[in-house]
Amino acid sequence: MDTTAANRTFAYVASLRARRDAARPLILITNDDGIASPGLYAAVRAVSDLGEVVVVAPRQQFSNASRCHPPSAWGHEPGPTERIALPADCPATLAYAVDGSPAQAVARAWIELLNRLPDLVISGINYGENLGSGTTVSGTVGAAIEAACVGIPALAVSLQTHPDFYYHPSEQVDFRAAAHFTRMFAQAMLAGALPADVDILKVDVPADATPETPWRVTRVSRQPYYVPVIPRERGIPDYRIEIDLETLEPDSDIYALVVARAVSVCPLSIDLSSRVDRQQLCQLLAERTVARRVER
């Protein structure tokens, strides 16, 4: 990367951060279900009185996008942002639709549209839970990661729903409990910094949750949760939910939601480094590489 360009970007981010207003926090809301999603509206209504709310979301459905920045989805030039009117019960909120992925929506928000860095990014409320090793596939989580990479605390909220709703957002889904927990954890994150290495809270809400449903802090399960199904004919593989209960970790996000029927609150870090003892790994690799040279 060009050092001058990188320094210019860091300086710009610092200038946006300096304009933050402690009395009126800025909350950016996005999603991967598109600007017209009722889940997005539920998130807006849940936090509309906690600060200044701005919505910047993909124009269309963009699920399973992770943190991708597709260069050619809309041609080499990014499409224009479009000012959107939200429903009447989402008052006094600026909203923009952008051509691009959820992560691109977050990036374009602070680069093009906002005059200060958000104090919090909320991604969701998503149709469908994001659990286990498939977490990194999620566009909902990808948008949160994009925010965390420039130092913005992020909250990614997903509601367990029937698969029929994953790509077809519907008014039939009741977001009241998920909205309650969105507000609860948004308030907690706005109240002060979380511990070091907690960049994102990934919240998954059971379909039958109520505001009284207990929540627990979890970790990401090593199980996949969504398992690809090989299509009988050539085409895009489908997915099914598959859980190995015998090996499922009791402290995991999958266990909390599926077995305990609790709200999973999973802290995520943008540091993807393994938690292995690095000195021990170095010694192991050194021994094995030496042994290979001797064999030759």
Q: Does the CA dihedral 123-270-134-243 come out positive or negative?
A: negative
Contacts made by residues 190-198, CB under 8 angstroms, sequence distance 24+: 190/25, 190/27, 190/50, 190/51, 190/119, 190/120, 193/153, 194/153, 194/267, 197/267, 197/269, 197/271, 198/267, 198/268, 198/269
* Residue 163: predicted pLDDT: 87
pLDDT for the residue numbered 133: 95
pLDDT at 217: 98
Domain extents in the chain:
3-295
The structural architecture, per CATH, of the domain 3-295 is 3-Layer(aba) Sandwich (3.40)
- The label of the residue with tokens 């030039």 reads 77
Cβ neighbours of 117 (radius 10 Å)? 22
The radius of gyration of the chain's CA atoms, rounded to the nearest angstrom, is 20
pLDDT at site 293? 62
**pLDDT per residue rounded down to tens, the chain (296 residues):** 566 766 776 777 777 777 776 668 999 999 999 999 999 999 999 999 999 999 999 999 888 889 998 875 545 566 778 999 999 999 878 999 999 999 999 999 999 999 889 999 999 999 999 999 999 999 999 999 999 999 999 999 999 999 888 888 888 999 999 999 999 999 999 999 999 999 999 999 999 999 999 999 999 999 999 998 877 666 666 788 999 999 999 999 999 999 999 999 999 999 999 999 999 999 999 999 986 665 65
Q: pLDDT value at position 166?
A: 85
The pLDDT value given to residue 70: 83
Residues facing 126 on adjacent strands: 158
Strand partners for 219: 252
Question: Residue 57's pLDDT is what?
Answer: 97
pTM, full prediction: 0.90
How far apart CA 139 and CA 223 sit, in angstroms, is 19
Cβ(74)–Cβ(99) below 8 Å: yes
Q: For residue 116, give the DSSP letter.
A: S
- Which residues, including other chains, have CB under 8 Å from residue 4's CB and lie 6 or more apart? none
